[in-house]
Amino acid sequence: MQATDFKIVVIGGSAGSFSVVSAILASIHPQFKIPIVLCLHRLKHVRSGLVEGLSLKSVIKVLEPNDKEKLQYNHVYLAPANYHLFLELDGTIALSTEESFNHSRPSIDYTLSSAAYVYREKALGILLTGANKDGAYGMKDIAGKKGFTIVQDPATCDIDTMPRSALQLFDPNLILSPKEIVQFLNTLPH
């Protein structure tokens, strides 16, 4: 049932997601090919240090991209603080300082929806723990374009508002624990 030729992985998360993302990046295959885009909400006054924090354990290079930067294999792109991140048709990243969406900048919905529009059935969206509904509509957009969707099992979430909002909107392909998410990712070609 599962498509394996994904061209992009987008992971969204908020409260409690740092340790989950950190664990994923620590145990993913070091040659994991598909570009991973992270859109994570940050604490209001802690704007820097996230890329450094994630890099500590990550086996793949993590960076905050510049506007119009081209996506590369085996890289992790973290949406910079205070910018929305969009994926573009030409394989580049676009940043924007437009109004906050869902009280968030970066907004997970924006990043996921742009992935749905550009990559359609070749997009893999993963929504993690969080205390806000941002990301739910973006995940639904990915599902709507026949992309693949994974929502973190609310029972394993620090705060389950984010995954629950998504589950109210649509049925994802899989509902998984953080460990199972890593296992799933490592079944993908590297």
Partner 1 sequence: MQNSELSQTYKEYLLILKECSPYDFSEYSDNSIDRRIQKIRHDYHLSMPDLIQKTKSDPEFVEQVVEAITVNTTELFRDPKVWNQLRQKVLPTFKNHPKINIWHAGCSTGQEVYSLIILLDDLNLLDKAAIYATDISQKALEHAKRGSYRFSFNYEKYLTNFQGAFEQSDTPDIKKYFNINESKDTISIKPQFLGRVKYIKHDLVKEELPFYNKFDLIFCRNVLIYFNGALQTKIVQRFHDNLFPGGNMVLGSHETLNGFFKTKFAKNGPVYARTNSFHLKY
Query: Which of 90, 92, 49, 47 lies closest to 67 in space, CA to CA?
Result: 92
Q: What are phi and psi of 51, to 5 degrees?
A: -65, -40
Cβ proximity to partner 1, 113 vs 173, nearer residue: 113
Asked if 45 touches partner 1 (CB under 8 A), the answer is yes
Asked if 83 touches partner 1 (CB under 8 A), the answer is yes
Residue 19 among the catalytic residues: no
Query: Hey, what are 168's tokens?
Result: 């109210």
Name the one range near partner 1 by CB under 8 A: 3-11, 59-67, 159-167, 169-177.
59-67
Kindly write out the interface string for residues 150-179 of this chain, putting x where it contacts partner 1 by CB under 8 A and - elsewhere.
Answer: ------------------------------
Q: Which of 12, 16, 80, 178 binds partner 1 (CB under 8 A)?
A: 80
**Beta carbons within 8 Å of 15's beta carbon, 6+ residues apart:** 41, 129, 130, 131, 132, 158, 159
Catalytic position from the list 17, 41, 107, 109: 41
Write the burial class of residue 107 (CB in 10 Å: 0-12 exposed, 13-18 middle, 19+ buried): buried
C-alpha span between 58 and 125 (Å, rounded):
20
Name the one range near partner 1 by CB under 8 A: 13-21, 43-51, 155-163, 176-184.
43-51
Residue 41 among the catalytic residues: yes
**Beta carbons within 8 Å of 64's beta carbon, 6+ residues apart:** 51, 77, 78, 79, 80
Asked if 147 touches partner 1 (CB under 8 A), the answer is no
Q: Looking at residue 48, what DSSP letter applies?
A: S
Name the one range near partner 1 by CB under 8 A: 22-30, 111-119, 126-134, 149-157.
111-119
Q: Looking at residue 178, what DSSP letter applies?
A: H
Give me the residues that bind partner 1 (CB under 8 A), please: 44-45, 48, 64-69, 80, 82-83, 86, 88, 94-99, 109-110, 113-114, 116-117, 137, 141
Residues with a catalytic annotation lie at: 14, 41, 134
